[in-house]
Structure 1
């Protein structure tokens, strides 16, 4: 058998294999006909939770779909995604930075609780309106972890009051089991390596 014959045989077997795979895939996809607003959770110790969530926000913006962001912890520091959205896409995406930084920076629990409660009130308002296709609750899991917001209230609201076609994305480490239970999509970012451990600080364009 010549080299060209061997290549032709490999190509033919590959095409047959891919045709079977496509047929199986098409059969599965034909059963997926429902649409609904998803509850999406990005959690875990690894980097990329907010980054992935903002990727979905920018997809909404690209499709001309109204959306909103509520930041529960991150404070006054400028970030690339916030600056870009406010400067160029504020007609499609509302952006609310409600926190004042991580709790070890403010060192004022009462103030942190008040800010988190205000952020949660804004989040409920945006979600309940049904006017936004997606609402991102950035770092809300941290506020829940420190009991600034009651997890039972969050779960009850999302389960009973979220409009059917509104997507809600919740980010932050240590997502509660109750939240994971009602979510439609949960991704846990796993930490393998991080430059911070090698003495490298947060850098523009990577972390913010």
Structure 2
């Protein structure tokens, strides 16, 4: 059992020395792990879950690419009819580095036309494949494609097969939207699930510029 008398008082030379030694051990362990990580690979990244932040995270990666001068692209499958801040920013200031293609016309309950939704999703996927295959584009964000997959507007097996067999080896592809299917999760290199803890919509607060779009 530890004795509190053995723990140096915070701010004393003994406490600082103990902290430095502890951090040095952590750094050595971390450096040893990092020394084994030398490869690069174009990643298939999935952002899913009921919580907010899936598209926001994807657009954060787009902005990172832009900051590094890396050509990138966005294909929006559902929110194409929305006037979003991301679209304004990219088209207004970074169109030389990032292509932006808004292919959707709204959520399925807004369009109320399944045939039209399928047609637009198909056009979005064809554009996505075209962009992914371009050798100069390093990252492609497929925003809300998981919704199109969930409603069977697109064949998930076709999408997975393309990403597995035809995606260039160093191209990153980010797929967002809730309810990502098991086949896509299994094929991905990185999967993050956003968990809903609390949301203002449940308290009667509508979607607001700068927060939701």
> What TM-score, normalized by structure 2, do the two folds share?
0.95
Q: Which of 187, 204, 210 is the matching residue for 1:199?
A: 204
- TM-aligned CA deviation for residue 75 of structure 1: 2.6
Uncovered stretches (5+) of structure 2, i.e. residues with no partner: none
SS of equivalent to 2:66: helix
SS class of match (1:75): helix
Q: 1:22 aligns with which of 27, 32, 50?
A: 27
Aligned to 1:18, what secondary structure does the other structure show? helix
- Aligned runs of 1:56-75 on 2, under 5 Å? 56-75=61-80
Q: Which one of 86, 96, 99 corresponds to residue 91 of structure 2?
A: 86
2:136 to 121, 126, 131: 131
- Report deviation, 1:44: 0.1
SS in 1 for 2:173: strand
- C-alpha separation between the residues in 2 aligned to 1:81 and 1:75? 12
Quote the Cα distance in structure 1 between the aligned partners of 2:185 and 2:113.
29
Please give the alpha-carbon distance, in whole angstroms, between the structure 1 residues aligned to 2:55 and 2:166: 24
C-alpha deviation, 1:131, in angstroms? 2.1
Q: Distance in 2 between matches of 1:65 and 1:26?
A: 28
Q: Deviations over 1:136-169 (max 9, x none)?
A: 0000000000000000000000000000000000
Deviation at 1:199, TM superposition (A): 0.3
Q: How far does the alpha carbon of each residue in 1:57-116 deviate from its partner, in whole angstroms, 9 at most, with x for none?
A: 000000100000000011322111110000000000000000000000000000000000
Q: Which residue of 1 aligns with 2:101?
A: 96
Q: Could you tell me which residue of structure 2 aligns to residue 155 of structure 1?
A: 160
Gaps of 5+ in 1: none
Between 1:127-136 and 1:49-58, the stretch displaced more is 127-136
Q: TM-score, normalised by structure 1?
A: 0.97
Task: Give yes or no for the alignment of 1:36 onto 2:46.
Answer: no
Number of equivalences: 207
Check the 8 A contact 2:9/2:15 in 1, yes or no.
no
Q: Structure 2 residue aligned with 1:115, among 109, 120, 123?
A: 120
